[in-house]
Structure 1
């Protein structure tokens, strides 16, 4: 805490009380931030087809599953052949994860990537429809 000009003509006891309140308020703010700002995690998922995928989560909530097709990985102009796909998917998804409102499964195809860059807006990527049970 820096010098508080509003306390310069107050008694030593009043200054001590205000300093203690300032410390307590700072601790409460830090605890609130820790509780409400959970880190978004990106983890590789199990392969269920001809694709590589990562799952973005925040706490216990799934935010987004981002997949890249096997043809996009092997297609020369995409530039993903020598790339670490999990890291690339995490980096690519991180650029728009805060804009995702509901859980979706998005698929990046060979038409969406050129030279390791996503050229299609994430909103226009192919969406995987979930089969109803």
Structure 2
């Protein structure tokens, strides 16, 4: 189907998927899949499911990111791990999983958006990579 794009969105929160898909226009269906990028098994299931259904993954746009809003001296190790597991490790593992398919296909692109607030400092947002 020349010129047709298949859009797949994923989130660890099913409700946010419904909200996001509802805001997309263009007349094309938006496939929604639940995936927590902090869980390698979820990443594998997501990538395998998309590849199995569509045969390829041309572009990955990764915008997964979280934070725990509190003063830096109150950020616990669990808080830090939560942020890093999603923002850094999850982004890496997702890029790697999609990249394997893209390398085999001989093409593909990836865009990683690490923060929507790079240009404005926020209070009580400490461990953002």
| TM-score, structure 1 normalization | 0.24
Larger Rg: 1
RCO (CA 8 Å, sep 6+): is it higher in 1 or 2? 2
